[in-house]
């Protein structure tokens, strides 16, 4: 999944590069009530983006092209079990901040309601058309054209023109009849509730076609806040990824609206599990004023989001987002245009006596890249791989070794010691992060090999010897 892009220009799902937890610097205390404070950061571990053409200009209604992207979200959620989600919806720079806060709020609500199967929230969007975001007959036609009857034919096969003519009436009647509703041909509230639910099921499915849903408890805040604080928010036009030249932005419609399409997007971040309180979350709820957002701006936030003489892309310039709270997630995120950087990956081959093996030909595959390598005099294979890589394979002769690429724990932690001893071919029985009899036995064996007293304890001399043996 790492770095995987969607099949359309409007979607993407990806793992973030691993961020180690700690170490944290603490100072000795003096026996009084003074203490060290450690704040565990909120770290995004994965991201998902839905963008154009899922949303039309000035609209929150979700197009059927939403469906393939949901399969990617389903896989991402499954791969990051227990990681709470949060939705950030964005608008393009056309219009005022208040108008764009409203449209981005509505996009966040539309996604959240679809994932959690809450047709009543869609009814609110349908019934309360604002600022040009009118679902109306066009949305009904789109849904009826997506849904299939008992013979696998779409209920509606006419033009999506927003005109409730005979074809729309007939399609509505057939849907109502199959759903056990009063077949009057009018998509009233009772019909819409069933229609919304059926359409949500149709577009929200995993790669096998099975129904994919999320619960409010799967989002930050655990569904406790009625307004969805932390679970969903609209970011107005504060964080564009594309800033057009002023000459184009000041024009009307046409190419401007098309070129601004990347800014009409919704992001979902999955976070490393930790308790998060509403008081520490600065984003206002959907339907609340955007005034709180300005308190999170960079000092030059207003200047950042202004159009200039030339085209600016966030992935290149990193200076288009006003909100520092969101920018900190975005700049590490492949879903906001961060190219996967390259990082060194060094592998050392040891023989049964744990001595480096020189001149061994190997084939390393990481993602779509394959490297033909030969170990150097230190037994090392040295390559540079994408920073978001999480797995690979190493072929040595007839052997194929599956690699899990992950950040090492601190060298003075139990997990960090276990990881290094395991990679140095000491028998641990697994990397658990907890001291076990096998860990102590492996540690004693390493200490004896390093000429240290075999205590089985993690201490300074042992960590220094392990760092030297393993490589810094």
- Distance of alpha carbon 54 from alpha carbon 46, whole angstroms: 21
To the question of pTM greater than 0.95 for the whole model, the response is: no
301-349 residue pLDDT tens: 999 999 999 999 998 888 999 999 999 989 889 899 765 566 778 888 8
E-strand ranges in 225-379 read 232-234, 242-243, 266-271, 312-313, 342-348, 361-366, 369-374
- Distance of alpha carbon 195 from alpha carbon 119, whole angstroms: 9
Distances (CA, A) of 95 to 104, 250, 333: 12, 11, 27
130-169 residue pLDDT tens: 878 999 999 999 999 999 999 999 999 999 999 999 999 9
Residue in 423, 417, 387, 418 with CA at minimum distance from that of residue 403: 423
243-263 residue pLDDT tens: 999 998 888 766 888 888 889
Contact call for residues 163 and 140 (beta carbons, < 8 A): no
127-139 residue pLDDT tens: 998 878 999 999 9
31-74 residue pLDDT tens: 888 888 887 788 899 999 987 667 777 789 998 888 888 899 99
Over 90: is that where the pLDDT of 465 sits?
no
Q: What SS3 class is residue 359?
A: coil
Paired tokens of 162? 């927003």
Paired tokens of 24? 């944290």
């Amino acid at each position: 999944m790492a770095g995987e892009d969607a099949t359309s220009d409007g979607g993407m799902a990806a793992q973030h590069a691993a961020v180690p937890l700690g170490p944290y610097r603490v100072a000795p205390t003096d026996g009084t009530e003074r203490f060290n404070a450690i704040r565990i950061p909120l770290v995004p571990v994965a991201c998902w983006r839905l963008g154009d053409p899922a949303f039309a200009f000035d609209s929150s209604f979700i197009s059927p092209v939403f469906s393939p992207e949901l399969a990617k979200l389903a896989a991402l959620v499954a791969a990051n079990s227990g990681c709470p989600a949060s939705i950030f919806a964005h608008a393009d720079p056309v219009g005022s901040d208040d108008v764009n806060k409203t449209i981005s709020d509505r996009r966040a609500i539309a996604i959240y309601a679809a994932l959690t199967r809450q047709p009543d929230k869609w009814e609110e969007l349908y019934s309360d058309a604002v600022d040009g975001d009118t679902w109306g007959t066009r949305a009904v036609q789109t849904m009826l054209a997506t849904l299939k009857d008992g013979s696998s034919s779409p209920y509606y096969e006419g033009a999506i023109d927003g005109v409730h003519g005979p074809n729309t009436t007939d399609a509505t009647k057939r849907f109502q009849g199959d759903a056990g509703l009063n077949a009057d041909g009018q998509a009233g509230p009772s019909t819409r509730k069933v229609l919304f639910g059926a359409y949500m099921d149709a577009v929200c499915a995993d790669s096998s076609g099975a129904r994919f849903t999320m619960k409010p408890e799967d989002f930050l805040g655990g569904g406790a806040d009625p307004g969805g604080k932390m679970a969903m928010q609209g970011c107005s036009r504060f964080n564009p990824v594309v800033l057009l030249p002023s000459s184009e932005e000041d024009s009307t419609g046409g190419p401007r609206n098309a070129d601004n399409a990347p800014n009409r997007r919704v992001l979902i971040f999955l976070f490393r599990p930790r308790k998060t309180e509403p008081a520490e979350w600065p984003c206002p709820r959907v339907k609340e004023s955007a005034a709180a957002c300005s308190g999170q701006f960079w000092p030059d936030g207003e200047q950042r989001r202004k159009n200039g003489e030339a085209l600016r892309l966030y992935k290149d310039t990193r200076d288009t987002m006003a909100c520092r709270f969101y920018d900190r997630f975005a700049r590490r995120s492949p879903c906001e245009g961060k190219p996967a950087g390259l990082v060194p990956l060094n592998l050392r081959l040891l023989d049964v006596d744990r001595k480096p093996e020189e001149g061994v030909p190997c084939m390393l595959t990481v993602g779509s890249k394959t490297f033909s390598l030969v170990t150097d005099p230190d037994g090392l294979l040295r390559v540079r791989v994408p920073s978001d890589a999480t797995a690979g394979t190493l072929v040595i002769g007839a052997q194929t070794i599956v690699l899990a690429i992950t950040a090492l724990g601190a060298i003075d932690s139990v997990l960090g010691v276990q990881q290094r001893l395991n990679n140095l071919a000491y028998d641990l029985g697994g990397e658990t992060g907890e001291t076990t009899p096998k860990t102590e036995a492996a540690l004693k064996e390493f200490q004896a090999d390093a000429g240290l007293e075999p205590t089985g304890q993690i201490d300074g001399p042992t960590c220094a010897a392990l760092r030297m043996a393993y490589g810094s």
